Amino acid sequence: MTLSFRTSSIFATTVTIVLLISVTTSNGQIDCYECTIHPPKPYLNMTAKLCSMFDASDHYRVHCPDSTYCMKKSYQLELQDGKIIKGAVRGCTPQKYDYQIYKNGKWRIESAVKYDAYSNGCLSGNDELRTPDTTFCYCDNNLCNNAKQMANFSSHTDTIAVIIIYNIMKFLKSHTQPA
């Protein structure tokens, strides 16, 4: 079966558009996993999303309208008896901030989202005085904060995109040459 150059071009354009739509997040929003170490207060009528039970299911999935990054905070706490407790908290990065503005003789609260507040990667810190070993990891792909150890996931997406485009070009070259 031979495909015409026009059919091959339409195919390549369609695949490229679908790939770009699936790789990018829309409107600067992202879906992340969210869990906490504290159970919700009984009067809040919320479902518990404890990190100790985290299984990367849809139960832990949340939409983050005011965030472009997911976050995972990992910590290690050494108790007095030498026992070590490890934990993790997942969620959306806090990129929205509220501020007051004086306009038309009245104060009112406005909100803004700081899109460049974070970058992909992990930051660690321990001041050896009062805080446990803590690592904050940030990533900008949907549901990227599910791993035990997070890495820079955007480079994996770029690699996959290059491989797909290479194979599409190889396909087009082999099917558009005269027989």
What is the per-residue pLDDT for 35?
Answer: 92
Helices (H), strands (E): how many in the chain? 2, 8
Which residue is associated with the tokens 């599409």? 168
Could you tell me the domains of the chain? 29-152 (2.10.60.10)
Query: What does the pLDDT look like over 111-152, one tens digit per residue?
Result: 998 888 899 999 887 656 556 688 999 999 999 998 764 444
- 65-85 burial, b for 16+ CB within 10 Å, e for fewer? ebbbbbbbbbbeeeeeeeeee
86 - beta bridge partners? 76
Q: Give per-residue pLDDT as tens, 32-67.
A: 999 988 887 877 777 778 888 899 899 999 999 999
